[in-house]
Amino acid sequence: MTEITTFGGRTTQVDGTALAEEEVVRLLRQVGERVRHVRERKGIPRRVLSELSGVSPRYLAQLESGEGNISISLLKRVALALNHRIEWFVGEDDPWSSDVLRVAEAFRSADRATREAVLRSLTREDDAGQRDQRLCLVGLRGAGKSTLGRMLGAELDLPFVELNREIEETGGMPVPEIMALYGQEGYRKLESDALDRVIATHDRVILAVAGGIVAEPSTYARLLARFHTIWVKASPQEHMDRVRAQGDERPMQGNPEAMAQLKGLLTSREALYERAEATLDTSGKPVAQSLRELADLVATHKFLTD
């Protein structure tokens, strides 16, 4: 038994085990409510969140109802899939009433000009110098990052680097095998280390990164601080078609929900991709036209000039 003192000064005894169990139940309900709130606010169906996180729809339903005793590792997967820090789900403070969340929501719904003005006001004057002449192309696979980055590098006589190739060189195996062996967390650690190596060895470079790098807050923040960034985007159908044209049938094979999952992924990451300094939409355009538009963006923003 545990003694506690009430506000009236009365001391009483309670069952410590029962009190602990009650707190666990409260926490599970809190986590479930917050997960459901974020998922619904982002417009992500539960089946799509299941595919993004690797957590079964049935378990997600239990979690959102407050009945799922989820492990830290599984909750981390859910948080990453929703592009939220895990602390937001388990913290004592109500995240929906915090100034940080209100600002984040206002930023998300603002037009691009307003977002750029806010970012300029929050960016230190020396940040541009830290970026030197480094350009990074972000976005989902199939948008054209590697093709356009390699062509622009050749045109401007700049080295072109794919971060996944750097990861494979360090890991000694292809990315799918790294993921299978070390899991998502192991891959993210190699990704972070590879980014640091590129920063340390290249003052002038064009870099293409995997679409999921934006889901790791510290790595993405370092990327934004040390590179000029352009979001290369396309329509969901073109993303899918281009990946299949590369000979990869996995997105569709035995998966009738693949397009819904892709749309959900784009929706969940849109606000993160929009943190890039510029956007290039390659939908319905030949490669030559997209290359010219990319070169014009780089010149207009003076990304690769002294």
> The pTM is what?
0.65
Please report, rounded to a whole number, the percentage of residues in the chain having pLDDT higher than 90: 32
Residue with tokens 């971060």: 163
Lowest mean pLDDT among 70-79, 88-97, 172-181, 246-255: 246-255
Name every residue whose Cβ is closer than 8 Å to that of residue 277 and which is 6 or more positions away in sequence: 116, 228, 229, 230, 301, 303
Same domain, 161 and 254: yes
Q: pLDDT, tens digit, for every residue of 118-141?
A: 766 665 544 555 787 899 999 998
- From the list 232, 59, 58, the residue with the least C-alpha distance to 139 is 232
Same domain, 95 and 148: no
Report the C-alpha gap between 186 and 172 in whole angstroms.
13
| Amino acid 294: pLDDT | 96
Handedness of CA 101, 103, 109, 112 (dihedral sign): negative
Mean pLDDT of 256-280: 84
Same domain, 45 and 160: no
Residue 112 domain-assigned?
Answer: no
Residue 81 domain-assigned?
Answer: yes
| Amino acid 100: pLDDT | 57
Check which CATH number belongs to the domain holding 28 and give it: 1.10.260.40
| Amino acid 7: pLDDT | 41
Residue 178 domain-assigned?
Answer: yes
| Amino acid 204: pLDDT | 93
For the stretch 78-82, contacts whose Cβ atoms lie closer than 8 Å and that sit 24 or more positions apart, written own/partner, are: 78/35, 78/49, 78/53, 80/53, 80/184, 80/215, 80/216, 81/49, 81/52, 81/53, 81/215, 81/268, 82/35, 82/38, 82/39, 82/42, 82/44, 82/49, 82/268
Same domain, 281 and 183: yes
Pick the more confident residue, 294 or 95: 294
Check which CATH number belongs to the domain holding 126 and give it: 3.40.50.300
Same domain, 150 and 90: no
- Yes or no: say if 174 and 201 are a contact pair by the CB < 8 Å rule: no
Question: 3-state class of 278 per DSSP?
Answer: strand
Q: How does residue 229 score in pLDDT terms, banded at 50, 70 and 90?
A: very high
User: How many separate domains does the chain show?
Assistant: 2
Same domain, 50 and 147: no
Same domain, 258 and 293: yes
Among 54, 73, 101, the domain boundary falls at 101
Same domain, 76 and 198: no
Q: How does residue 6 score in pLDDT terms, banded at 50, 70 and 90?
A: very low
Lowest mean pLDDT among 13-17, 130-134, 238-242: 13-17
Among 46, 69, 101, the domain boundary falls at 101
Mean pLDDT of the chain: 81
Pick the more confident residue, 230 or 7: 230
Q: pLDDT, tens digit, for every residue of 17-33?
A: 665 778 878 888 888 88
Residue 25 domain-assigned?
Answer: yes
Mean pLDDT of 243-272: 72
Same domain, 95 and 124: no
Among 42, 73, 101, the domain boundary falls at 101
Residue 109 domain-assigned?
Answer: no
| Amino acid 129: pLDDT | 58
Same domain, 175 and 232: yes
Residue 156 domain-assigned?
Answer: yes
Query: Domain range holding 204?
Result: 119-301
| Amino acid 8: pLDDT | 45
| Amino acid 27: pLDDT | 84
Same domain, 91 and 146: no
| Amino acid 12: pLDDT | 47
Residue 92 domain-assigned?
Answer: yes
Residue 113 domain-assigned?
Answer: no
Same domain, 125 and 26: no
Report the C-alpha gap between 82 and 125 in whole angstroms.
32
